[in-house]
Chains A and B, each alone.
Chain A
Amino acid sequence: MRTGLLLILLALLLAACAGGDSGAGDPAEAVERYLQAKIAGDADGVRALLCSAKEADLDMEAGSFAAVEARLEDVDCQRDSDTDVVRCQGKIVATYGTEDLDFPLSAYRVVLEGGVWKWCGEAG
């Protein structure tokens, strides 16, 4: 009985130690979803994944690609070990008239807010 209780406690401890963001999902995936929402002009999607420090930029973020048709190409985002930086490869391609404009992706800061990873601007 005592051994069983200890095992349960140990399991709970291990679960807790596995990281506070275990239910928050993958920060790299959050960045990819954010980029997708941004180029689509999906204001709700952008709002859901934009950190509170950038709330004032919501209109700009959601309207940034409104004048063009944009898509993501060859996107691969990875978190820099346990840092708050997600580094992305690939690019946004925006079609304006008959021309394609390339926007190479870079490194972005992420923060955990309300148990959800959120995009928080470019990383310096």
Chain B
Amino acid sequence: MAFVKVLLLAGLALILAGHPATAQETPLETTAHRAAVVYAGPGDSYRQLAVLRPGNAVQIIERNSVGNWLHVRQEDRNGFVKLDGWVMIGYLNIPAALRLSRLAANTELADADPSAVNSRSLAALYAAPVISPISEAMRGVYALGQQLGNHSDVVTKVGDSLTFNPMYLEPMSDPRYELGPYDYLEDALRYFGPSTAGGSAAARMALATYVIFDPMWADKTLCRPGESPLDCEYRRKRPGVAFILFGPNDARHTTREKYTEQMGKIVTETLNRGIIPVLSTFSVHPDDPYWWQAIELNLGLLDVAAEYDVPLINLWAAARPLPDYGLDRDKVHMKNSGFTYLKFSTGHESWYGTSLRNLLSLKMLDEIYHSIILEADA
């Protein structure tokens, strides 16, 4: 009996000893490299608690699911908590030892606190998670794609100049990547990254939801006569996943009803081909004369994602705390970091819209890879 007890205790000790392998053993310390607003949660709609001054040391407690927000805490000599809140990672000196795969992810706190937002439209937009869960329906889409001969490791992009931008998605094909603390994204990057090289026939400047079906907008050097940009890209690449973003051009001449109808057609066309469509809201500057129309289209997009049960990146909400909402000087296009490869080692995702979009897209690919592709292969 005593022997059994010893065995049980030894087993328990092994389990406990093994557990820290997936969690950071002792909280890492860091400092802010510039004044950082500390929020009550991982998003700018949460209450602002304090400002973390440069040089003040804090402990890193946990992260949000993506890892671009960190929960930090500061205690005085007596162990009293002086500061306890969330900061965007790009404001911190990122410790070389920080590995997000080993830092606990807080999945209880939402990405936003819509109750603190005094506009019903904006609150509704904030309420959508930055990375939506992958629905069961997408397993069926993946299975259909496999039957149709799609390539599960091929990803493409569909959209206007924000998406045509070679700094979006395509840097994932560059082997010089620096994931920095985002080590947990490496598997997805290795799996999908090479397929992102070379752009997309379905991403072009000035494209809008109508135009994506118009053969006249297709690249005649790549596409067949009568073939729309969307058909052309899907035929050429037979992708497993397509990132789709429309809106900035549509906002200038399309109603919410027309936009959602067209987005519905694009999603239907994508699903019918066994391709998982990943929709994305878009960032808009409050100075934009089409601000409210853009908000309306983004809300319409949430409806489309819900109706078809497809993945959605809430880029609008995620980009809100970035300088100029992640936008460039023209207040329409997302700002690039200037690096042609993925570089998340220095917090660019907290400063540049395109870096943030790349990070969120890679995070979504990671979700698809683990929850659909690996499970199906198993």
Q: What residues of chain A lie closer than 8 Å to B254, measured between beta carbons?
A: 63
Q: How far, in Å, is B205 (CB) from chain A's closest CB?
A: 5
Q: How far, in Å, is B158 (CB) from chain A's closest CB?
A: 16
Q: Please determine whether A64 and B210 come into contact, CB atoms closer than 8 angstroms.
A: yes
Tell me whether B224 is interfacial, beta carbon within 8 Å: yes
Q: Please determine whether A64 and B216 come into contact, CB atoms closer than 8 angstroms.
A: yes
> Which chain B residue shows the least CB distance to A35?
B216
Q: What residues of chain A lie closer than 8 Å to B210, measured between beta carbons?
A: 59-60, 63-64, 66
* Residues of chain B from 117 to 173 with CB closer than 8 A to chain A in the complex: 161
Contact digits for B193-225, partner A, Cβ 8 Å, 1 yes 0 no: 000000000001110101101111100100011
* Residues of chain A from 57 to 72 with CB closer than 8 A to chain B in the complex: 57, 59-61, 63-64, 66-68
Tell me whether A107 is interfacial, beta carbon within 8 Å: yes
The complex places the Cα of A46 from the Cα of B330 at a distance, in Å, of 33
Q: Please determine whether B253 and A67 come into contact, CB atoms closer than 8 angstroms.
A: yes
Q: What residues of chain B lie closer than 8 Å to A99, measured between beta carbons?
A: 205
Tell me whether B95 is interfacial, beta carbon within 8 Å: no
Q: How far, in Å, is A71 (CB) from chain B's closest CB?
A: 14
Tell me whether B249 is interfacial, beta carbon within 8 Å: yes
Most chain A Cβ neighbours within 10 Å, of B204, B211, B249, B330: B211
Task: Give the interface size class of chain A.
Answer: 20 to 34
Q: Please determine whether A104 and B225 come into contact, CB atoms closer than 8 angstroms.
A: no
Q: Please determine whether B330 and A122 come into contact, CB atoms closer than 8 angstroms.
A: no
Across the interface, B253 reaches (CB within 8 A) one of A63, A107, A123, namely A63
Q: Please determine whether A103 and B216 come into contact, CB atoms closer than 8 angstroms.
A: yes
Q: How far, in Å, is B96 (CB) from chain A's closest CB?
A: 42
> Which chain B residue shows the least CB distance to A103?
B216
Q: Please determine whether A106 and B220 come into contact, CB atoms closer than 8 angstroms.
A: yes
The complex places the Cα of A107 from the Cα of B249 at a distance, in Å, of 28
The complex places the Cα of A81 from the Cα of B49 at a distance, in Å, of 77
Q: A97-B330, A106-B225, A107-B225 are in contact. Are A64 and B206 (CB under 8 A)?
A: no
B interface size (C-beta, 8 A): 22
Tell me whether B252 is interfacial, beta carbon within 8 Å: yes
Q: What residues of chain A lie closer than 8 Å to B215, measured between beta carbons?
A: 121-122
Contact digits for A92-113, partner B, Cβ 8 Å, 1 yes 0 no: 1010110101011011000000
The complex places the Cα of A61 from the Cα of B224 at a distance, in Å, of 19
Q: Please determine whether B214 and A60 come into contact, CB atoms closer than 8 angstroms.
A: yes
Q: What residues of chain A lie closer than 8 Å to B258, measured between beta carbons?
A: 59
Q: Please determine whether B217 and A64 come into contact, CB atoms closer than 8 angstroms.
A: yes
Q: What residues of chain B lie closer than 8 Å to A121, measured between beta carbons?
A: 215, 226
Across the interface, B214 reaches (CB within 8 A) one of A64, A67, A123, namely A64
Q: A63-B253, A67-B253, A124-B224 are in contact. Are A101 and B206 (CB under 8 A)?
A: yes
The complex places the Cα of A92 from the Cα of B204 at a distance, in Å, of 15
* Residues of chain B from 208 to 260 with CB closer than 8 A to chain A in the complex: 208, 210-211, 213-217, 220, 224-226, 249, 252-254, 258
The complex places the Cα of A59 from the Cα of B253 at a distance, in Å, of 12
The complex places the Cα of A59 from the Cα of B225 at a distance, in Å, of 21
The complex places the Cα of A63 from the Cα of B226 at a distance, in Å, of 18
Q: Please determine whether A101 and B205 come into contact, CB atoms closer than 8 angstroms.
A: yes
Q: Please determine whether B220 and A104 come into contact, CB atoms closer than 8 angstroms.
A: yes
Q: Please determine whether B206 and A67 come into contact, CB atoms closer than 8 angstroms.
A: yes
Q: Please determine whether B253 and A124 come into contact, CB atoms closer than 8 angstroms.
A: no
The complex places the Cα of A61 from the Cα of B217 at a distance, in Å, of 11
A residues sitting closer than 8 Å to B (CB atoms) are 38, 57, 59-61, 63-64, 66-68, 92, 94, 96-97, 99, 101, 103-104, 106-107, 121-124
B residues sitting closer than 8 Å to A (CB atoms) are 161, 204-206, 208, 210-211, 213-217, 220, 224-226, 249, 252-254, 258, 330
Q: List 12 A-B contacts (CB under 8 A).
A: A64-B214, A64-B216, A66-B253, A67-B206, A67-B208, A68-B206, A103-B217, A106-B225, A121-B215, A121-B226, A122-B216, A124-B226
